Structure 1
Amino acid sequence: MPFDHNDHYHRLLLRQVPRNCGAALDVGCGTGRFARRLARLGMEVDAVDPSEEAVAEARALSGRMAGDQSPRFRQADVTEVELPKAHYDFISCLASIHHMPFETVAALRDALAPGGVLVILGCYPETTRLDWAWSLAAVPVNAVAKLAVAVRDELRSVSAATGRERVKAPVRQPAVPLVEIRREAAVLLPGCNIRRLLFWRYLLVFRHHG
């Protein structure tokens, strides 16, 4: 199993789920790993991704889950979908917001029920000295993490492909600097919190107080 930067932060994202969460939306769900984790918490999960191949794989991988527990996967571009207003208690967007205009967050904001939470695990390009400093700090930690995963798999005698998704979601390099993301988020998601994370990511949390 290769070290996956997005998977590494799943627990951090799950800690943002509000109490008594009934409905969730996972945007850019890929092969559905995080959507399945949400579903196992007992909530109804809608999951969308523009990749037909990724959604087909997500459905296949979710086939063993109980029918009422499996996420509802849908091939769709969230920028072209009319989301229900004030419906979701939790919306997640993992490493996918840079695949669409950032102002898409306004539609996600409007889809939150009162008390709902929008969580974005985002990527950004290095454009400042501080960006590069964080990147350099991540390099040795990343190498150690990859080595630890490789050793663990070797000890388990598990091939890198066993039990893993055969399909990978499309990858696009981020283009919007973190300083600009902060500026746009301040307007579209007033009161949100943004912090840098290791491994070339940032965490944005917006709580809709209704």
Structure 2
Amino acid sequence: MAFNHNDHYHRAMLRRVPAGCKTALDVGCGTGRFAHRLAARGIEVDAVDPAAEVIEAAVAASGGAGPRFLHADITRMELRAGHYDYISCLASIHHVPFGTVAALRDALAPGGVLAILGCYPERTPMDYAWSLAAVPVNALARLATAGTSADAVEAPVKPPQLALPEVRREADVLLPGSTIRRLLFWRYLLVYRKR
């Protein structure tokens, strides 16, 4: 089925792009759909993913235009301090230690925004209640998009380990002043603005 939980939240992520944004980093870019949406706004985009096959697919689909796709592990990259106006992570931060957000925070320019569309495992009664609400909506969305095309190459997927309360605790320490909002489809939105 073509319905993609992460793509569903592209508009929410785009609303977090700060005014006057010139540079962006898309972490765990997969085949590059969100990176292309950023580049379409005239933003210079670095799009990073550790999976060679998805970077190859992203480069092939872009025809050399748009984002700069990099096959790299974000935990080993040397990011320029204060360089990016916007950094996005769509369902990718759980693939690396959460402490990686400290390097992303430091790579933000003053006024820059880090937006994380994160995944979390169900562990609390509230998690299960949100899951129960998401199941019928998910089924309807998949029915509505049945028969539409999906990417031929998909990024590797790893199950999340940090529960939402743990994410909140880590974010309070590493990203003070950030906000976290629970979303449908087993996701949360974390937004941090660098002062």
Same fold? TM cut 0.5: yes
Residue 2 of structure 1 deviates from its aligned partner by: 1.5
Aligned-partner Cα distance in 1 for 2:34–2:124: 31
Report what 1:176 is aligned to.
Answer: 162
Aligned to 1:51: 51
| Mapping of residues 53-72 of structure 1, within 5 Å | 53-63=53-63, 67=65, 70-72=66-68
Q: Distance in 2 between matches of 1:148 and 1:31?
A: 23
- Partners of 1:57 and 1:165 within 8 A in 2: no
Which residue in the other structure is 1:10 paired with?
10
TM-score of the superposed pair, with normalisation by structure 1: 0.91
Structure-1 separation of matches of 2:160 and 2:50: 17
Q: Residue 174 of structure 2: which of 185, 188, 197 is its match?
A: 188
Displacement of 1:170 = 0.1
Q: Which runs of 5+ in 2 are unaligned?
A: none
SS at match of 2:60: helix
Partner of 2:110: 114
2:28 and 2:152 mapped to 1: Cα distance?
17
Match of 2:70 among 70, 74, 86: 74
Q: Which residue of 1 aligns with 2:20?
A: 20
Q: Name the counterpart of 2:194.
A: 208
- Other structure's SS at 2:75 match: helix
Specify the alignment match of 1:88 in structure 2: 84
Report the Cα distance in structure 2 between the residues aligned to 1:142 and 1:49, rounded to whole angstroms: 27
User: Which aligned segments of 4 or more residues in structure 1 are displaced greater than 4 angstroms?
Assistant: none
Q: 1:49–1:55: 8 Å Cα contact kept in structure 2?
A: yes
**1:201 Cα shift?**
0.2
SS in 2 for 1:74: strand
When Rg is computed on C-alpha atoms for both structures, the one with the higher figure is 1
1:98 aligns with 2:94: yes
- Report the Cα distance in structure 2 between the residues aligned to 1:76 and 1:128, rounded to whole angstroms: 35
Per the TM alignment, residue 165 of structure 1 is displaced from its structure 2 partner at its CA by 2.4
The structural deviation recorded for 1:149 is: 1.2
Q: Give, in whole Å, the separation in 2 of the partners of 1:9 and 1:165.
A: 17
Other structure's SS at 1:80 match: coil
Q: Does 1:30 align with 2:11?
A: no
